[in-house]
Each structure stands twice: as C-alpha cells, then as structure tokens.
C-alpha cells in the first residue's frame, strides 16, 4: 500500500512536521462531494460528525485508506495513539487511530480565504474503540470549520464538496 509521506508515525513526528502538513491542505478535491438534495449529517456541538462502524478499528482504517487511495487522495500519515504512543509510555488506551489526508485543490483555496484554517488542515479521520467496545469513526465537519474561521461566503462550494465527500467516505468505510 502506497503512502505519500509516511507509513505510520507517532504524534511527535507529526508535530515536528506541522508546517509541512498544514501547507498540504484539507482535501478531498477529486472525491465525490455533496450532491443536490443530499442530506448531510448534523455535527455535534463541537463540530464532530460521529458514526458507528460495523468493523474493527483496523478494518475500518484499511477500508477508509483504500477509498482515499482509489480516488487519488494523499494519505499523509496514520497516527496510532494506542500502539505507538500509549503503550510506549506504559499507558492503556483502547485502539485509537487518526488518518491524516489531503489534496491541495480544495484546501489551498480555503486557506486563501483565511489562512487560520490551516490549523485544521489537512483533514483528519478519527477511528476508535469506545468504552463499550464499539468502533466509531469521526471527522471535523467542514461547515463547522468554515464558521470557526469566519470564512463567510468564501469557499462555500469547496466546504460543501468536502462535507459531502467526508460523509460518503465515512459511510463507505463503516458500513457492513
């Protein structure tokens, strides 16, 4: 399986290249976006869209990464908080992974609207096993991020396209 920059990294490595990651962007440019009449999920008050997965953390991650790669998106990193970080520190944490991915064709225009959105780019997908043993998949709703960074009308088309793509990708990765 091909990865653009890293195969697996720990949090320290990701933070060490934060500037490079921020410059690479949000990302879903060529993937399917929101279609007319498509109902997008409602995020939590903190801007997360959370969905249950019918698969293990590992299988959900693999299905998601495969979808991204099939559509030509850049998988920049996979952070394994459980195995690489918690266990390395002698701490317990259920399986918890973050896939960081992007394509500058949508992220860069959003950063041209307001550079502060770079703190939330590229896009991330969180996959974890919750306290009841169920697997969840979550992402930051791009519409929430647009409000957080006060984009106003700038980038609306890109925000809607990304929101639709994240909804579609997470549904495909999580469904039986």
Q: Residue 62 maps to which CATH number?
A: 3.30.310.70
Residue 4 maps to a domain:
no
Establish if 35 belongs to a structural domain.
no
pLDDT tens digits, one per residue of 48-89: 999 999 999 999 999 999 999 999 999 999 999 998 889 989
Task: Provide the domain count of the chain.
Answer: 1
For residue 164, is pLDDT > 90? yes
The pLDDT of residue 18 is: 30
Q: What is the Cα–Cα distance from 107 to 117, expressed in whole angstroms?
A: 9
Q: Please give the model's pTM, rounded to 2 decimal places.
A: 0.78
Contact 100, 14 (CB under 8 A): yes
pLDDT at 32: 43
Which residue range(s) make up the domain with 149? 11-29+43-174
Question: How high does pLDDT run on average in the chain?
Answer: 82
- Domain assignment present for 34: no
């Amino acid at each position: 399986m091909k990865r653009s920059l890293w195969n697996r990294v720990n949090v320290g490595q990701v933070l060490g290249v934060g500037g490079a990651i921020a410059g690479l962007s949000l990302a879903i440019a060529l993937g399917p976006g929101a279609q007319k009449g498509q109902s997008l999920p409602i995020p939590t008050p903190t801007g997360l869209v959370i969905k249950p997965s019918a698969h293990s953390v590992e299988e959900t991650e693999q299905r998601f990464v495969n979808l991204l790669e099939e559509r030509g998106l850049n998988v920049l990193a996979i952070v394994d908080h459980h195995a690489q970080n918690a266990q390395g520190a002698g701490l317990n944490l259920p399986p918890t992974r973050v896939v960081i991915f992007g394509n500058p064709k949508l992220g860069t225009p959003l950063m041209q609207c307001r550079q502060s959105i770079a703190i939330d780019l590229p896009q991330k997908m969180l996959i974890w096993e919750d306290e009841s043993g169920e697997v969840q998949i979550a992402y930051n709703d791009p519409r929430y991020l647009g409000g957080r960074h006060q984009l106003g009308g700038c980038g609306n088309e890109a925000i809607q396209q990304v929101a639709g793509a994240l909804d579609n990708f997470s549904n495909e990765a999580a469904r039986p």
